Structure 1
Amino acid sequence: MELVWRSLTTADIPAVAALYNAVEAADDTGELLSEEDFVELFGEADLPRGSVAALVGDELAAYGMVVPRDKPVGAHRVRLDGFVHPSFRRRGVGLQLLPRMVELARDLHADKHPDLPLVVSTMVESRCAGHVALVERCGFRAERHFHELEVALGESLARVPMPAGYEVVPFSAARDAEVRVVSNTAFARHWGSVERSPEEWAASFTNSKRFVPESSFLALHNGVVVGFVLARHYPVVEEMTGVRELWIGDVGTLEEHRGRGVASGLLSWTLAWARAQGYARAGLSVDTANPSGALGVYERAGFGVARTWADYGMPVEL
């Protein structure tokens, strides 16, 4: 089997989306993306320098994308997102793809943050034995685990009131900059978290077509934002599974307001709203070692573990 390697282009979007969803169907990752989602992702990426495609004839056998960070602290942790089509597995394609992505990460790092150490990382679903074996063979080691949680938005949904002295208001564009600052502060001490620039924040939320501001809420104390729940909706999930899901992208509370029930009350409000809007399920991801007690908050809200992911990392010599 002869592979032809090149960078991705926007013309590859249909093939990339098809490959990605073929991987999801084979591995049951629960991660579904549409062509429109990839249009957005490609628009944010440095395709000539931060992507790679492997072709067999005219067929896309594998692809990878490299995602650097704007404002890393301590070390520059570059994410590698790579996939091999199920039809081309067990042929050594992944063993060629992953090192190529590492080299792309090294080159991007040298331009962006040459004075920092470089760590490359990739997410692996725990049941994907082949993927686990591949990354470990290439020198990656599991550094953190994340549960993907789900809750059905039915009649038995728990209701938790907001504590006294706090109010819930809908997210508004007027508070966007304030929420970004609060988010950066709330997550400043979390593992792997770095300050999100206005550009990164806009790509994740404000300018993203998947962000749902009408289903995102803020907790105010004396008129100031101290907590937030920011939601997304991926229509492709409903199209392919028949389940309308609200994805909780970020939940955060400033440290001095934790332990008072702010996150529980805000999350309860959001889930009740989502149910009234016709959502059948809510999902989110949580660091299993999160020091803020977030996992307990979600479990008490009725969330249960659907899948577990591992963040595999590897230091790279410069």
Structure 2
Amino acid sequence: MPVGFAKLVRRPISPGDAAALAELLNAIEVIDVFGEFYSEEDAADQINAPMLDLERGTVGVFDGDRMVGYSSAAHKLLVEDVHRVTVSGGVHPEYRRRRLGAELLATGIASAKALHAIHHPGLPLAIDAQNNAGNDSARACYEAAGMAPVRWYSHMRQPLGAAVVDLPLPDGLAAEGYSGENDAEFFAVGNESVLDRWGGVPMPREQWRAFLGWPAFRPDLSFLLRDVGSGTAAGMVLTYSWDADTAATGVRDAHLMRIGTRRAYRQRGVASALISRALCSARDAGFDRASIEVDAGSPTGSSGLYERAGFSVARTEVRYTLNA
């Protein structure tokens, strides 16, 4: 048993816990392999997210100054039909097999219900959690809590270099990089396109501002396609890259975080052209690879789109849901 296990302290996570949270998440990554490493600044971005109520929605488990487990429940600010609260959590590898994970999951579910009662009590509640498909202990923990698998997500990678195909832009469309002048159009396209995705809801402006405020955001690798005739924004791609990942792996990864096409411009090669522009720019900027998370059950057939662009599946994650 780890030293001090019987004297663990549980309390809400605070902004001053960023370094301790980053250390915990990096220890979890070594075993569970989500492909995500954290700097203190990255952890601070997570802690300060607008949809996170630290007092009501988070718990950190501490052995002295060391965070050895955590739970968080992130409610939605805007909701369409069902309020989906995302529960996250983890336990340091040295503190596992003591039912601390089950305790933290139960805490997260209770927090989700409490937040739902405050923010959207008149709507149905769905509590979501996501983990690697191969993590048997996590699956058993979710199932014991009454959660069932409902969705599978493919984490895909593209090696850049010769694998990149430089596609021409669709007729009548022009490309431009992200700027303060077209920020509102990126925002509008993203919010329209997400409505067709499973569980997708619009992002409120305050969340958007925080999202683009992350140091990982790469405006130089983010693009908008515009209809030359009407001036309408047809589609957009936002790209991110985390220095902590590069430091830990030695690989510079350009992650296509968000891609969207307005309904009126679909089936015209907009998404393919955006992907090509982002990949070519990442290659020319010296990145080693690109990545994307894809809903394997997407009605738009996005997995096939990325396979044609040279992506292949690196790992799969499962979304578990409890309808509460």
Q: TM-score range by the shorter chain?
A: over 0.9
CA shift, 1:75, in A, is 1.2
Residues in 2 aligned to 1:189 and 1:153: alpha-carbon distance in whole angstroms: 29
Q: 1:143 aligns with which of 127, 150, 174?
A: 150
Return the letter of the residue paired with 1:18: E
CA shift, 1:11, in A, is 2.8
Asked if structure 2 preserves the Cα contact closer than 8 Å seen for 1:202 and 1:208, the reply is no
Return the letter of the residue paired with 2:54: L
Listed as ranges, the gaps of 5+ residues in structure 1 are none
Matched, 1:302 2:287: no
CA shift, 1:180, in A, is 1.4
Matched, 1:122 2:129: yes
For structure 1, which segment, 126-135 or 7-16, has the greater mean C-alpha deviation from structure 2 after superposition?
Answer: 7-16
Asked if structure 2 preserves the Cα contact closer than 8 Å seen for 1:145 and 1:311, the reply is yes
Asked if structure 1 preserves the Cα contact closer than 8 Å seen for 2:157 and 2:292, the reply is yes
CA shift, 1:60, in A, is 2.4
Return the letter of the residue paired with 2:88: D
Q: Which residue of the partner structure matches residue 215 of structure 1? A: 221
Q: Which residue of the partner structure matches residue 202 of structure 2? A: 195
CA shift, 1:256, in A, is 2.1
Task: Tell me the secondary structure at the aligned position of residue 55 of structure 1.
Answer: strand
| TM-score under structure 1 length normalisation | 0.95
Q: 1:92 aligns with which of 95, 99, 106?
A: 99
Task: Tell me the secondary structure at the aligned position of residue 182 of structure 2.
Answer: helix
Q: How has the CA–CA distance of structure 1 residues 195 and 156 changed in structure 2, closer, same or farther, with 3 Å as cutoff?
A: closer
CA shift, 1:20, in A, is 0.6
Task: Tell me the secondary structure at the aligned position of residue 195 of structure 2.
Answer: coil
Task: Tell me the secondary structure at the aligned position of residue 168 of structure 2.
Answer: coil
Deviations 1:262-316 (A, max 9, x none): 1111211110011111111111101011111221111000001011111111012
Across the aligned residues of Structure 1 and Structure 2, the Cα RMSD in angstroms comes to: 1.3
Matched, 1:252 2:260: yes
Q: Which residue of the partner structure matches residue 78 of structure 1? A: 85
1:232-271 correspondence to structure 2 within 5 Å: 232-271=240-279
Residues in 2 aligned to 1:58 and 1:108: alpha-carbon distance in whole angstroms: 28
Task: Tell me the secondary structure at the aligned position of residue 150 of structure 1.
Answer: strand
Q: 2:190 aligns with which of 155, 172, 183?
A: 183
Percent of pairs with identical residues: 36
Residues in 1 aligned to 2:41 and 2:64: alpha-carbon distance in whole angstroms: 26
CA shift, 1:6, in A, is 1.3
Listed as ranges, the gaps of 5+ residues in structure 2 are none
Q: How has the CA–CA distance of structure 1 residues 136 and 163 changed in structure 2, closer, same or farther, with 3 Å as cutoff?
A: same
Task: Tell me the secondary structure at the aligned position of residue 72 of structure 2.
Answer: strand
Residues in 1 aligned to 2:115 and 2:279: alpha-carbon distance in whole angstroms: 40
Deviations 1:181-201 (A, max 9, x none): 221111212111001111121
Q: 1:33 aligns with which of 22, 38, 45?
A: 38
Q: Which residue of the partner structure matches residue 319 of structure 2? A: 311
Asked if structure 2 preserves the Cα contact closer than 8 Å seen for 1:213 and 1:230, the reply is yes
Asked if structure 2 preserves the Cα contact closer than 8 Å seen for 1:246 and 1:279, the reply is yes
| TM-score under structure 2 length normalisation | 0.94
For structure 1, which segment, 128-137 or 296-305, has the greater mean C-alpha deviation from structure 2 after superposition?
Answer: 128-137
